[in-house]
Structure 1
């Protein structure tokens, strides 16, 4: 399957100054790098981005955490308490099309107002935990205080976080969307923009039907394990050897499901005649389906149900998920130096995303970046 065309990358020619660390900001800037932008990552001297030491597991040169968020970037280490390094940072921001930051930069003259004064057309993206409230914010904390943990876990168990830093990922996606929208607006108006995203707002926006359900009823959703509050069956069901995920989004699919598991009469039962009825009678529905599914292992049911047009699949670990994607022709991995990473997820018919290069060593490109800022060198994409 072709992943892209042969034309230039969508963001070729753009320069991004990345003053961010940890996950949300670096993921947003790595996305921009994948799309062709030149990204200069500014790090703390000596230690760099916090995630360089967030291991195990370890990658080729640092933690796998850092390496999964920082491919295709340049690195320069600057001490913002040093006047000369502050001037270098401001010079970088003045040359950039986009600035991304999740630090407290006002004290160093690198806030939006200061950068816009020397670069009026800059797209400046600020990422915070809680917007105007100057509070520390990490993904786990926001999952807790933002309601996500209250709906994650078994009904009779403790609130649980999601198994990945989902709030940071949502915020990175929102930051990228905001930056791209502002860049388009700049092509029309010539005006820069201050894009502002925060973890709590991105999480609340990501609660979608759960938040709208609360606003419609005044009743806060609760934990339901793998069940859906508004659809049935839309959960994991026990088979002979373990669970299978089954998602029936309408009555036609439910009828096909009943036929595929050898229990067509379930589709004619008044308790299961439509989705609201199935939600109201979820317990007997699940019991009847699991009785039928006990006749075969989950992998066999996955084959049968998929063939019948039912969205169903066994519960895989990450390695199995990568293999599954590969079996479907999705080509999920990309070569980055001598290692592999999950590839950029967007395909294009005509544009070609940039060939990814390994994450930079701390301060690897100091000389080149300073030469570029002085006008003595160009700043091409990092080379493998």
Structure 2
């Protein structure tokens, strides 16, 4: 078979000098410093395009509070403003979240806040959502390789005897974290250790990393079995990736929320019927299965990304947090029962970005800033997702989904 000359095909551009590597230094390289002092910020702006007005990103308030960002970002040049709207009141009868919550949502997508406001309205009118945090734990999963499976098994036999010492090492790195459990997975000559922690009111990714690293270094230096190679994380935790494992367990906080709505509420607020919403749920569950989706939900990611950005959470965790199950059924009395199960809510009310000015203000609006509030925030997040599921399913059933986006996005 003759070789294909890509330069002679219409589908591919001819390879020429513009694709040749260039090694000339960039004389406008940004100063490689993690500091946020004003002098360094000015140097970075001098290296950027002069066509950009720096006051857009480095406004007066940001300039005055620049020191607050030093633990959250490197190569700092300013802040980006994202519109924030309020959904609610959202009434929640939770194990930890009790009351009516005004929920700040940061987004650039028109119709999103309106949808969650509508879902919140119907749920509040019906007495509120029930919400229950049923499990919590954050994992880090180091991996170790050996010459063969026999040695991997011997390593496990030793490692399980070290649990109490592992706990002491983990606790030496944190005042708030606690090693909760260890699970073992052997794959051929490799062993994955799953360390699971309680992280208090912090989301906890850094906390579990530091704690596990202390244990990891002890294992590498003290293992009686020769370790061929080892890495702090073997990608089994599901950190910032959609994964099916947590559907049966937990990563972060696992929350269930549900509500029962009278049939007349469905027609009055959502302009559809119980039967239509149940049928829609059945059809879209089939669609989710055919698409290979993990869990079944309409748009948890919308609620969680907007809430996470507004309230200083790690937005990348939406990749794992936005999995779960939405279920809609008709009760024996002809009412609509709806529930959501989210096993992967990575939320915190201390640490990370929660203490930055705008983000803390949003947590203050919720009444959930500071210690002792993370479990309540998780129940708010799940209830918000439930509100969004009811609203979007109602919109599709009533034929209003496209109309609402056209009206609100193109006004």
Same fold (TM over 0.5): no
TM-score by length of 1: 0.22
Q: Which has the higher strand share?
A: 2
TM-score by length of 2: 0.21
